[in-house]
Amino acid sequence: MEFMDVIKKRKSVRKYKKDAVSKDLILKVLEAARLAPSAGNRQPWHFIMVTDAETKAKLELSPWAAEAPVVIVGCADANASPSWHLNDLMIAFEHVVLAATDLGLGTCWMGRMGRDEKIKEVLGIPEHVKVVAVTPLGYTDEEPAGRPRKSLEEFVHWGRF
Protein backbone atom coordinates (compact mmCIF):
# COMPACT_ATOMS: atom_id res chain seq x y z
CA MET A 1 0.00 0.00 0.00
CA GLU A 2 1.27 3.51 -0.75
CA PHE A 3 2.05 5.61 2.34
CA MET A 4 -0.74 8.17 1.85
CA ASP A 5 -3.17 5.29 1.27
CA VAL A 6 -2.16 3.82 4.64
CA ILE A 7 -2.78 7.17 6.33
CA LYS A 8 -6.17 7.54 4.66
CA LYS A 9 -7.19 3.93 5.46
CA ARG A 10 -6.27 4.06 9.18
CA LYS A 11 -9.42 4.31 11.28
CA SER A 12 -10.31 3.72 14.93
CA VAL A 13 -11.71 0.20 14.91
CA ARG A 14 -14.01 -0.87 17.73
CA LYS A 15 -15.07 -4.30 16.50
CA TYR A 16 -12.64 -7.16 15.90
CA LYS A 17 -12.87 -10.70 14.59
CA LYS A 18 -11.83 -13.45 16.98
CA ASP A 19 -9.17 -14.68 14.50
CA ALA A 20 -5.72 -14.84 16.06
CA VAL A 21 -3.01 -12.51 14.76
CA SER A 22 0.14 -14.44 13.90
CA LYS A 23 3.31 -13.74 15.83
CA ASP A 24 4.96 -12.91 12.50
CA LEU A 25 2.51 -10.05 11.90
CA ILE A 26 2.84 -8.81 15.48
CA LEU A 27 6.62 -8.74 15.08
CA LYS A 28 6.30 -6.76 11.86
CA VAL A 29 4.18 -4.18 13.67
CA LEU A 30 6.74 -4.01 16.48
CA GLU A 31 9.60 -3.67 14.02
CA ALA A 32 7.97 -0.47 12.77
CA ALA A 33 8.03 0.83 16.35
CA ARG A 34 11.66 -0.21 16.78
CA LEU A 35 12.63 1.90 13.78
CA ALA A 36 10.93 5.06 15.07
CA PRO A 37 13.11 8.09 15.79
CA SER A 38 13.70 9.22 19.36
CA ALA A 39 15.48 12.08 21.09
CA GLY A 40 19.16 11.25 21.43
CA ASN A 41 18.32 7.78 20.06
CA ARG A 42 17.35 6.77 23.61
CA GLN A 43 14.39 4.65 22.43
CA PRO A 44 12.58 4.90 25.80
CA TRP A 45 9.65 2.73 24.80
CA HIS A 46 8.33 -0.62 25.95
CA PHE A 47 5.47 -2.53 24.37
CA ILE A 48 3.56 -5.21 26.25
CA MET A 49 1.61 -7.69 24.13
CA VAL A 50 -1.42 -8.96 26.04
CA THR A 51 -3.18 -11.95 24.49
CA ASP A 52 -4.59 -13.74 27.53
CA ALA A 53 -8.35 -13.06 27.88
CA GLU A 54 -8.26 -13.06 31.68
CA THR A 55 -5.42 -10.54 31.76
CA LYS A 56 -7.10 -8.31 29.18
CA ALA A 57 -10.26 -8.29 31.31
CA LYS A 58 -8.27 -7.12 34.35
CA LEU A 59 -6.93 -4.06 32.48
CA GLU A 60 -10.32 -2.33 32.82
CA LEU A 61 -10.49 -1.29 29.17
CA SER A 62 -13.67 -0.89 27.17
CA PRO A 63 -15.18 -4.37 26.61
CA TRP A 64 -14.82 -4.08 22.82
CA ALA A 65 -11.07 -3.44 23.22
CA ALA A 66 -10.53 -6.43 25.48
CA GLU A 67 -12.26 -8.66 22.91
CA ALA A 68 -9.55 -8.04 20.30
CA PRO A 69 -7.05 -10.92 20.00
CA VAL A 70 -4.16 -8.67 21.09
CA VAL A 71 -3.94 -5.58 23.27
CA ILE A 72 -0.74 -3.56 22.92
CA VAL A 73 0.25 -1.44 25.91
CA GLY A 74 2.70 1.32 24.97
CA CYS A 75 4.91 2.54 27.81
CA ALA A 76 7.54 5.26 28.13
CA ASP A 77 10.57 5.05 30.43
CA ALA A 78 11.00 8.43 32.13
CA ASN A 79 14.48 7.48 33.38
CA ALA A 80 15.73 6.68 29.89
CA SER A 81 14.68 10.05 28.48
CA PRO A 82 13.40 12.45 31.18
CA SER A 83 12.37 15.25 28.81
CA TRP A 84 11.22 13.38 25.72
CA HIS A 85 9.96 9.92 26.72
CA LEU A 86 6.29 10.77 26.06
CA ASN A 87 6.94 12.29 22.64
CA ASP A 88 9.15 9.37 21.64
CA LEU A 89 6.59 6.75 22.69
CA MET A 90 3.85 8.57 20.77
CA ILE A 91 5.95 8.57 17.60
CA ALA A 92 6.69 4.85 17.97
CA PHE A 93 3.04 4.13 18.75
CA GLU A 94 1.92 5.90 15.58
CA HIS A 95 4.37 3.69 13.69
CA VAL A 96 2.54 0.72 15.28
CA VAL A 97 -0.93 1.79 14.16
CA LEU A 98 0.23 2.70 10.64
CA ALA A 99 2.14 -0.57 10.22
CA ALA A 100 -0.90 -2.51 11.46
CA THR A 101 -3.08 -0.73 8.89
CA ASP A 102 -0.59 -1.55 6.14
CA LEU A 103 -0.72 -5.23 7.17
CA GLY A 104 -4.53 -5.34 7.06
CA LEU A 105 -5.04 -5.10 10.83
CA GLY A 106 -7.18 -2.72 12.84
CA THR A 107 -6.26 -0.60 15.85
CA CYS A 108 -7.76 2.11 18.04
CA TRP A 109 -5.40 4.46 19.83
CA MET A 110 -6.59 4.77 23.44
CA GLY A 111 -4.74 7.35 25.54
CA ARG A 112 -4.03 6.17 29.08
CA MET A 113 -1.87 8.93 30.58
CA GLY A 114 -3.02 9.57 34.12
CA ARG A 115 -5.32 6.52 34.08
CA ASP A 116 -2.70 3.81 34.17
CA GLU A 117 -2.70 2.57 37.78
CA LYS A 118 -4.67 -0.63 37.14
CA ILE A 119 -2.68 -1.49 34.01
CA LYS A 120 0.62 -0.96 35.85
CA GLU A 121 -0.55 -3.17 38.71
CA VAL A 122 -1.81 -6.00 36.49
CA LEU A 123 1.23 -6.01 34.18
CA GLY A 124 3.93 -5.34 36.78
CA ILE A 125 5.11 -2.09 35.20
CA PRO A 126 7.75 -0.21 37.26
CA GLU A 127 6.90 3.17 38.80
CA HIS A 128 9.21 5.20 36.52
CA VAL A 129 7.59 3.72 33.39
CA LYS A 130 4.40 5.46 32.24
CA VAL A 131 1.57 3.82 30.36
CA VAL A 132 0.89 6.28 27.56
CA ALA A 133 -1.38 4.47 25.12
CA VAL A 134 -3.14 1.19 24.49
CA THR A 135 -4.48 -0.26 21.28
CA PRO A 136 -6.40 -3.39 20.48
CA LEU A 137 -4.92 -5.21 17.49
CA GLY A 138 -6.76 -7.60 15.25
CA TYR A 139 -8.65 -8.21 12.05
CA THR A 140 -11.46 -5.72 11.69
CA ASP A 141 -15.06 -6.83 11.84
CA GLU A 142 -16.28 -3.43 10.65
CA GLU A 143 -15.30 -0.70 8.22
CA PRO A 144 -15.61 2.54 10.18
CA ALA A 145 -16.67 5.54 8.15
CA GLY A 146 -14.20 8.34 7.76
CA ARG A 147 -14.55 11.25 10.14
CA PRO A 148 -14.70 14.85 8.91
CA ARG A 149 -11.31 16.56 8.81
CA LYS A 150 -10.52 20.25 8.96
CA SER A 151 -9.29 21.89 5.78
CA LEU A 152 -5.64 22.92 5.60
CA GLU A 153 -6.73 26.56 5.72
CA GLU A 154 -8.20 26.01 9.19
CA PHE A 155 -4.90 25.04 10.83
CA VAL A 156 -1.97 25.93 8.57
CA HIS A 157 -0.31 29.30 9.11
CA TRP A 158 2.43 30.69 6.88
CA GLY A 159 5.01 32.80 8.68
CA ARG A 160 2.85 33.72 11.70
CA PHE A 161 -0.25 32.53 13.45
Q: CB 141: neighbour CB atoms within 10 A?
A: 15
Per-residue model confidence (pLDDT) at position 115: 75
Note whether residue 60 is domain-resident. yes
Residue 74 in domain? yes
What is the per-residue pLDDT for 139? 98
In a domain, residue 113? The reply is yes
Specify the CATH number for the domain of residue 37. Answer: 3.40.109.10
- Say if residues 74 and 94 touch (Cβ distance below 8 Å): no
Number of domains in the chain: 1
Q: How would you write the pLDDT of the chain (161 residues) with one tens digit per residue? A: 899 999 999 999 999 999 999 999 999 999 999 999 999 999 999 999 999 999 999 999 999 999 999 999 999 999 999 999 999 999 999 999 999 999 999 999 998 776 788 999 999 999 999 999 999 999 999 988 888 999 999 999 999 99
Residue 95: inside a domain: yes
Task: Say if 151 falls within a structural domain.
Answer: no
- Residue 31 in domain: yes
Q: Give the model's pLDDT for residue 147.
A: 87
Domain limits for position 57? 16-142
The answer as to whether 9 is a domain residue is no
5 domain residue, yes or no = no
